[in-house]
Amino acid sequence: METRRFAIRTYGCQMNVHDSEKVSGLLLESGFTPAGDEADADVLIINTCSIRDKAEHQLYSDLGRLREWKAERPGRIVGVGGCVAQQVGARLLKRFPGLDFVFGTHNLRHVPGMLARAAEGARTARVDEDRSLARFDLPSGRAGGGPGRRWKAFVTVMEGCDMFCSFCIVPSTRGREISRPAAEIIREVRALAEEGVLEVTLLGQTVNAYGRHDVRRGRARSEGTMPFAELLARLDEVPGIERIRYTSPHPLFFDADLIRAHRELGSLCPHVHLPVQSGSDRILAAMRRRYTRGAYLEIVAALRRARADLSLTSDLIVGFPGETRQDFEDTLALVREAGFVDSFSFKYSPRPGTPARGMEGEVPPEEAQARLRALQSLQKEQTLAYHRGRVGERTQVLIDGESRRGPEQVSGRDPQNRVVNLEVEGDRPIGPGSLVPVRIRAATPHSLLAAVA
Ligand code: 5AD
Ligand code: SF4
């Protein structure tokens, strides 16, 4: 049987979403076509996340259920990629007899070949680390490969992480830091702009560490990299690019030049997602975050001086080993003081091979759950207050498509990255990809409501 229609199921961060787009691009180049949905597919690829225990277990339950999917149509193929694949490797093939191939985070380019071998009955795994720049040389095709123009795109600028925060599995699933030459990034962004893309999001595990090893060793020129703020300035000059975002930066590399870039570059959005993880110096040290609460708040103050309209969002972990009630109170106080517009918060989850896993002082699960709830309810209030404060403002929305609230509204993002819903007036249809001037009329907990201005 021909196995020609593919579907990709993606978990995890934006880097994973973009990796799925790249795999999709490779498969399109190899003559595969996107399936309407998984029921219709001959090939299913699962792009996995292992940041927390729960994410990893998702894969095991998915693979259990896929036995039926495979049995429905002989010749169907299942491949697993991403961070769990990188972490567990060929052992996945042993554990799941129905699984056909496994590819690690540096082996996207091998997917078409592995698929061809799987069609001949060979089960393969490739999870070696590729430290060459060749691994960036992949199509940035849109996921699904569907027709139509795209107006937003991800662009990888660096990959890997050398920070080794004590709780985090990423340095082992994504490997060492490696930065792409600036000329290639600029070329990619120019090509996207020519295609009609208005907004680019630069991606990297610690995106503002871009080029830092080369800069430090005096090799930026020969390696073709440059300081991150300089890269932003070069991209700001690309005609047609209206909005530049980047995610996720690390506070340690948030230097004065990057803050100045927020003051000076017209297309750099007034939104920064800056993971803080904890508001307690003791816990930050145990997490090996390499900054203090005070240093973090100084960055926030400088950013606000540079851009009064800045929206700041963050990631937080509660229940890290040894976290006392007071440490947690310090985190709540920091959330207020930094004025996070939104945040993702998680219960600490011990990960294999990380130093925090062996640390003493486990926080009882009920206590961790209660802290998570308290933190999230504080954030909810703060988000709503921020939204209310923006009522009456004029801004611009880049439309993504129909709103979740129904076809009478379209939905998009403002420069601060908030979701904005817009009433559609009968005679004035608003297509995806339009940049629309609006006035904000009302606030809800999760979004803003606006009218065309
Ligand atoms: N447990 C809980 N949360 C984690 N994160 C990373 N590792 C863990 C872990 N072991 C969170 C951090 C990070 C986000 C992507 O996931 O907050 O910023
Ligand atoms: Fe993980 Fe820390 Fe690297 Fe972020 S900086 S990916 S939290 S090790």
pLDDT along the chain (453 residues), means of 10: 83 95 93 93 96 92 92 94 96 95 96 96 94 81 57 96 98 95 96 95 98 89 92 98 98 98 98 98 98 98 98 98 98 98 98 96 98 98 98 97 84 98 81 95 97 92
- Name the residue at shortest CA distance from atom 2 of ligand 2: 165
Query: Is the minimum distance from the CB of 354 to ligand 2 under 6 angstroms?
Result: no
Say which residues have a Cβ less than 8 Å from residue 190's Cβ, sequence separation at least 6.
Answer: 238
Nearest to 344 by CA among 285, 414, 250, 275: 275
Query: Is the minimum distance from the CB of 205 to ligand 2 under 6 angstroms?
Result: yes
Query: From ligand 2's centre to the CA of 168, what distance in Å?
Result: 6
Residue 333: its H or E element: helix 325-338
At 453, list the tokens: 């201005």
Report how far apart the first and last C-alpha atoms of the chain are (Å, whole number).
56
Which pLDDT score is estimated for 376? 98
Query: From ligand 2's centre to the CA of 366, what distance in Å?
Result: 26
Query: From ligand 2's centre to the CA of 160, what distance in Å?
Result: 9
Which atom belonging to ligand 2 lies closest to the Cα atom of 250?
Answer: 5
Backbone angles phi, psi at 27, to 5 degrees: -70, -40
Which pLDDT score is estimated for 144? 42
What is the set of domains in the chain, with CATH numbers? Answer: 5-126 (3.40.50.12160), 394-452 (2.40.50.140)
Query: Is the minimum distance from the CB of 7 to ligand 2 under 6 angstroms?
Result: no
Q: C-alpha distances in angstroms, 219 versus 175, 211, 212?
A: 21, 9, 10
> Average per-residue pLDDT in the chain?
94
What is the DSSP code (8-state) at residue 298?
A: H
Residue 367: its H or E element: helix 365-389
Query: Is the minimum distance from the CB of 182 to ligand 2 under 6 angstroms?
Result: no
Which pLDDT score is estimated for 145? 43
Which pLDDT score is estimated for 427? 67
Query: From ligand 2's centre to the CA of 18, what distance in Å?
Result: 18
What's the CA gap between 372 and 364, in Å, rounded? 12
Which pLDDT score is estimated for 143? 44
Which pLDDT score is estimated for 62? 94
